[in-house]
Amino acid sequence: MSKPLIAFQGELGAYSHEACREARPDHDPLPCRTFEECIDAVLDGTADLAMLPVENSTYGRVADIHSLLPKSGLHIVDEAFVRVRISLMALPNVPLSDITKVRAHLVLLPQARNFLKKHGIKAETAADSAGAAMELAASGRRTEGVLASDIAAEIHGLDVLARDIEDHGHNTTRFLVMSRQPDHHRRGDLGMITTFVFEVRNIPAALYKAMGGFATNGVNMTKLESYMVGGSFTATQFYADIEGHPDDPNVKLAFEELRFFTSMFEILGVYPAASQRH
């Protein structure tokens, strides 16, 4: 019997693939070209879940994701955190001393600047690190390396020449697991996270008033981000994470107050807090 599928953006061996393996080891990965393709794969039943990155501890939020989520028709059912560990890989039996150039995604290259400088290796941007590993495996280029995850080396038959070469050891990406159906009935051992979007009414100090209910009811808001809707400078949508479940009495009261000052309010997901938060 075939396993359920979890869609992710990128090639096999991408950090999103690593997130899939860690968070859903009972699912087979389904690589997709774009975030939209991941979402569509779940909507049309090709995949059961999607793994989408939302933010990185070094680079901030992932572009376009916050605007895609409310329109996706999917629900957040889990979160996952992946430490971005960078490995330098090359064709089998190639020593590090032979490597003159490495390719990787734009955001990886600056994170290994010290290592590359020390070894006199030039950096070249690639559209996708795992894709660069796949290309290298087929190319036969023995003076070229790739910066990517260990999984990419494992999948594409490359040798890892150096591990954990990132300049800083704290770089982490947060992912959301998306499903066609919400799963609001679970209770996590470490608490719950509720993610929602809203637009405030066009009245003075609306955002300040909308947020007041969370403060007075002791609800901790861990994220609040704004972004424009439809390219308009006047229409602003807010994306928020809070600690708690909509059925909790204090969260219920906070949401009641929020609704009074908003023209749109939608819960995107209720899911257990991951251990990496604590």
Active-site hit among 8, 115, 175, 255: 175
**For 82-134, how does the pLDDT look when each residue is reduced to its tens digit (9 = 90+)?**
999 999 999 999 999 999 999 999 888 998 999 999 999 999 999 889 999 99
* Residue 241 falls inside a structural domain: yes
Q: Is residue 151 domain-shared with residue 175, that is, in the same domain?
A: no
175 annotated active-site: yes
Same domain assignment for residues 23 and 66: yes
Q: Is residue 161 scored above 90 in pLDDT?
A: yes
Mean pLDDT calculated for residue range 2-11: 94
What tens digit of pLDDT does each residue of 165-214 get?
999 888 899 999 999 999 888 888 889 999 999 998 888 888 899 999 99
Same domain, 203 and 145: no
Q: Does any domain span residue 186? A: no
Catalytic-labelled residue, pool 8, 35, 173, 238 = 173
Does a structural domain hold residue 187? no
pLDDT in tens, 203-251: 888 889 999 999 999 999 999 988 877 666 666 789 999 999 999 999 9
List the beta strands (DSSP E) in 57-190.
Answer: 60-61, 75-83, 87-90, 101-105, 122-126, 144-148, 159-162, 172-179
Confidence at residue 230, expressed as pLDDT on a 0 to 100 scale: 67
CATH code of the domain covering residue 16: 3.40.190.10
Query: What local confidence, expressed as pLDDT, does residue 168 receive?
Result: 85
Range of the domain at 245: 192-277
Number of structural domains the chain divides into: 3
Angle between helices 206-216 and 249-260 (to 10 degrees): 170
Q: What is the pLDDT of residue 235?
A: 61
Tell me the residue type at 123: A
Residues 91 and 51 in one domain: no
Report phi then psi at 144, rounded to 5: -115, 145
Catalytic residue check, 115: no
Query: Looking at the structure, do residues 150 and 263 belong to the same domain, yes or no?
Result: no
Question: Which residue among 179, 206, 226 closes a domain?
Answer: 179
Please indicate, yes or no, if residue 196 is contained in any of the structural domains.
Answer: yes
Residue in the block written with tokens 């209910």: 213
Cα–Cα distance measured from residue 202 to residue 30, given in angstroms and rounded to the nearest whole number: 43
How far is Cα 264 from Cα 254, in angstroms, rounded to an integer? 15
Same domain, 56 and 175: yes
- Please report the pLDDT score of residue 62 as a whole number: 81
Q: What is the pLDDT of residues 64-86, one digit of tens each?
A: 787 788 889 999 999 999 999 99
**Range of lowest pLDDT (20-24, 44-48, 209-213, 225-229):** 225-229
In a domain, 266, yes or no: yes
Assess if residue 184 is contained within a domain: no
pLDDT score at 51: 98
